[in-house]
Amino acid sequence: MKSLVTGATGFLGAALARRLLERGDDVSLFQRGDSPELQAIGAIVHRGDLRDREAVRHATRGADVVFHGAAKVGTWGTPDDFDAINVRGTEHVVAACRVNGVRRLVFTSSASVVFGRDDLHGVNESAPYTEAALSDYARTKAQAERVALAACGGDLASVALRPHLVWGPGDPQLIGRLVQRVRQGSVRLVGDGQNLIDSTYIDNAVDAHILADERLAADTVCHGKPYFITNGEPLPLAQLVNSILEAGELPRVAGSVSPRVAYAVAAVAEAIHRLFRLEAEPPLTRFIVRELVASHWFDISAARRDLGYEPAVSIAVGLQRLRESFFPP
């Protein structure tokens, strides 16, 4: 099997590439930088940018399946950059798949495509794309998902996965940022922290991608469809955050601020960054505030039914593995 993974410098992409190599695939990576650890175990790197149509076309030659996870992430940046990378970049991937006869496309989407101003309580894939996206990332991921799913037909089968808050040992985003801010003494809950949120342990997110590819090849049940992927264990935000911190023997988050104050602070921070054209992400954005105060958990029945997905690593086991990564023997 010849597999191409875009975005393997990211946490999920790297873990997926590693698993594909372990199962014996010929694995190529398309990204802007190198991945020395993956290259050392057999991955081939095609360096390039999603905005370069020809580079994408070259990288997909000979692939049986493309796992497209590369994207511009985060809550800050110019709308043009998000559009160029997330939307047009996905269009380039789809076009390259068709030109080069790639048979399967597994698109890594995001649960944020349905996240707007309302809480999400156990929603399933019937939930519409939000018309009130609070970030360019969410807006463009929704557009990119449409592109990937609309491509399904003829000789190309596609599916979109929506993993939510992926975490685990080595995670530089959720875990890395949280630990850094706690050590700086700059973490506070927004509200009471009792809003329920879903998360996904890294191994489960990888399992979902492997299963999606296998099911795309086996039958048409998941062709052209999106699927929420989580651990299926929604927890109050405060409980999840403090459990992660306890795994690293770090102090629990005890202080809190009101949502109204946090939203005002975020609005001011965004305004300052726009005024002075600062490229760095503000310390707080309105999208992040909304994520911190809203409930967002999802029904994964469709993934269980159509993909055979079952979260193999519980949050409890994941936290134990996280603790072991903080304090190796």
The type of residue at 123 is V
Whether 137 sits among the annotated catalytic residues: the reply is yes
pLDDT at site 184: 85
Contacts of 95 (CB under 8 A, 6+ apart): 53, 56, 57
**How many Å apart are CA 227 and CA 238, to the nearest integer?**
26
SS3 208: helix
**How many Å apart are CA 11 and CA 306, to the nearest integer?**
26
pLDDT at site 206: 98
Q: What is the pTM of this model?
A: 0.96
pLDDT at site 144: 98
Mean pLDDT across the stretch 69-96?
A: 96
Marked catalytic residue, from 137, 201, 227, 309: 137
Domains of the chain: 2-166+199-231+297-312 (3.40.50.720)
pLDDT at site 181: 87
pLDDT at site 318: 98
SS3 297: strand
For residue range 168-191, what is the model confidence (pLDDT) as tens digits? 999 998 999 999 988 888 789 999
For residue range 241-298, what is the model confidence (pLDDT) as tens digits? 999 999 999 999 988 999 999 999 999 999 999 998 888 889 899 889 999 999 999 9
Q: CA distances (Å), 239 to each of 244, 245, 316, 326, in order?
A: 9, 10, 12, 19
Strand ordering across the sheet containing 2-6: 44-47, 26-31, 2-6, 65-68, 104-108, 157-163, 226-229
Asked whether the predicted pLDDT for residue 16 surpasses 80, the reply is yes
Kindly report the average pLDDT of the chain as a whole number: 96
